[in-house]
A and B are shown apart, each in its own frame.
Chain A
Amino acid sequence: QLQLQESGPGLVKPSETLSLTCTVSGGSISSSTYYWGWIRQSPGKGLEWIGSIYYSGTTYYNPSLKSRVTISVDTSKNQFSLKLSSVTAADTAVYYCARPRDVLGPTLIWGPGTLVTVSS
């Protein structure tokens, strides 16, 4: 059974880059049927779709975050990653890695989530 697990720093300073990794177990990240994505949840903005990526590297980003977001895949490690630059306190949230059904579709599988706080 496919499982996802986020990892990365829980505290990031303002103006720096938030970096998270999602490790996929129970399946190959290179499967041609799989997309991968990131979603975040904060008390102020609720649930927010960040973006998704196909194993080939094709990416789709939330227009409101597009200028700051990079999602990438590392097939050799069965992982995918999120980078969010120039963070502010508004980026404080629980970040989930996810497997959507397709590029913009419903999220079938969620990681447990990891809290990232932006503070000096």
Chain B
Amino acid sequence: EIVMTQFPATLSVSPGERATLSCRASQSVTSNLAWYQQKPGQAPRLLIYDASTRATGIPARFSGSGSGTEFTLTISSLQSEDFALYYCQQYNNWPTFGQGTKVEIK
């Protein structure tokens, strides 16, 4: 099983600031990585797939980068609706998820 580690566990950011979330795989997943956003009481929503491709309808302030074992999700200017939980998922092998990063208001 490929273990996905996300850090930090919690990120405190002011609205309008930039947020950088990290995800590390225990072995190479090439570019087979996705990012999801989840709000309380809702299902996750796909933001980024194939490490850097934005899903349909996702604003340009969300961007993904990385390959191999190190990945980053950047939110360029945080809006009020962006405060949520974020998960990474690899699908190079049997799909596994990270434990999540909570982005909270500073």
- Interface pair B91/A105, CB less than 8 Å apart: yes
Which bracket fits the contact residues of A? 10 to 19
Chain B 25-54 per-residue mask, 1 if CB under 8 angstroms from chain A, else 0: 000000000101000001111100110000
- Interface pair B91/A104, CB less than 8 Å apart: yes
Q: Is B69's beta carbon under 8 Å from chain A?
A: no
Alpha-carbon gap, A107 to B89, bound state (A): 10
Enumerate chain B interface residues (CB-CB to A < 8 A): 1, 34, 36, 42-46, 49-50, 55, 87, 89, 91, 93-100
Cross-interface CB contact of B89 among A47, A96, A112, cutoff 8 Å = A47
- Interface pair A106/B97, CB less than 8 Å apart: no
Alpha-carbon gap, A94 to B97, bound state (A): 15
CB contact under 8 A between A108 and B55, given known A46-B100, A47-B44, A47-B87? yes
- Interface pair A106/B89, CB less than 8 Å apart: yes
Enumerate chain A interface residues (CB-CB to B < 8 A): 46-49, 62-64, 96, 101, 104-108, 110-113
- Interface pair B95/A49, CB less than 8 Å apart: yes
Q: 17 other contacts beyond A46-B100, A49-B96, with CB at 8 A cut-off?
A: A46-B97, A46-B98, A46-B99, A47-B89, A49-B94, A49-B95, A64-B1, A96-B43, A105-B49, A106-B49, A106-B50, A106-B89, A106-B91, A107-B46, A107-B89, A108-B46, A113-B43
Alpha-carbon gap, A90 to B79, bound state (A): 37
Minimum distance in angstroms from A23 CB to a CB of chain B: 15
